[in-house]
Amino acid sequence: MDGTVVVTGGSRGIGAAVVRALAARGTPVCFSYATHREAAEAVVAQAEELGTTAVAVRADVAEEADVRRLFAAADRLGPLAGLVNNAGQVAAQSPVVDLEPARIRRLLDVNVLGAFLCAQEAVRRLVPAGGGTVVNVSSRAAVLGGAGEYVDYAASKAAVDALTVGLAREVGPAGVRVVGVRPGLIRTDIHAGAGEPGRVERLAPTVPLGRGGEADEVAEAVVWLLSEAASYVTGTTLDVSGGR
pLDDT, averaged per 10 consecutive residues of the chain (244 residues), comes to: 94 97 97 95 97 97 98 98 96 96 97 98 98 98 96 98 98 98 93 82 95 97 98 98 96
Q: E strands along 131-229, which residues?
A: 132-137, 176-183
Domains of the chain (ranges plus CATH)? 4-240 (3.40.50.720)
- Give every CB contact of residue 150 below 8 A, 6+ residues apart in sequence: 90, 91, 93, 94, 141, 194
Cα angle 120-126-131, degrees, rounded to a multiple of 5:
135
- Give every CB contact of residue 64 below 8 A, 6+ residues apart in sequence: 117
At residue 150, the pLDDT reads 93
pTM, entire model: 0.96
At residue 197, the pLDDT reads 87
146 by DSSP, 3-state: which? coil
Looking at the annotation, which residues are catalytic?
153
At residue 34, the pLDDT reads 94
- Give every CB contact of residue 34 below 8 A, 6+ residues apart in sequence: 9, 11, 58, 59, 60, 87
Q: Are 153 and 146 in contact (CB under 8 A)?
A: yes
At residue 221, the pLDDT reads 98
At residue 42, the pLDDT reads 98
At residue 2, the pLDDT reads 87
